[in-house]
Amino acid sequence: DIQMTQSPSSLSTSVGDGVTITCRASQTISNYLNWYQQKPGRAPQLLVSGASTLQSGVPSRFSGSGSGTDFTLTISSLQPEDSAIYYCQQGYSVPFTFGPGTKVDIK
């Protein structure tokens, strides 16, 4: 199975700051990498698919990049509503494993 790791596991930063979350796969996954946002008590929501394609309706302050084994999710200017847990997931080979998540808090 492909193992996914994320860093940091959590962060706390101010509104308006930039945030970068890293996701690493244990083997190459091309760009079969997706990012989800989950708020407390809610289902996950797809933000980015195929490493860099922003989903319709997702604010442009979110962006994804990377290929192979190393990927990043960037929030250019953090907003209060971005407080959530962010998960990466590989869609390269089954089982489609998720990363452990990165919790983003607002100071």
Check residue 42 and report its DSSP letter: S
Give least dist CB 24 to another protein, A.
16
Separation of alpha carbons 23 and 107, rounded Å: 23
Give least dist CB 30 to another protein, A.
9
Give the binding range for another protein (CB under 8 A) out of 10-18, 19-27, 44-52, 74-82. Answer: 44-52
- The residue whose two tokens read 């994320």 is 6
Whole-angstrom CA distances from 54 to 47, 66, 80 are 6, 14, 20
Give, as ranges, the residues between 86 and 105 that touch another protein (CB under 8 A): 87, 89, 91-92, 94-101
Give Cα 100 distance to the centre of its chain: 11
- Contact (CB, 8 A) for 50 and 62: no
From candidates 51, 78, 84, 104, binder to another protein by CB under 8 A: 51
Interface ranges with another protein (CB under 8 A): 1, 31-34, 36, 38, 43-46, 49-51, 53, 55, 87, 89, 91-92, 94-101
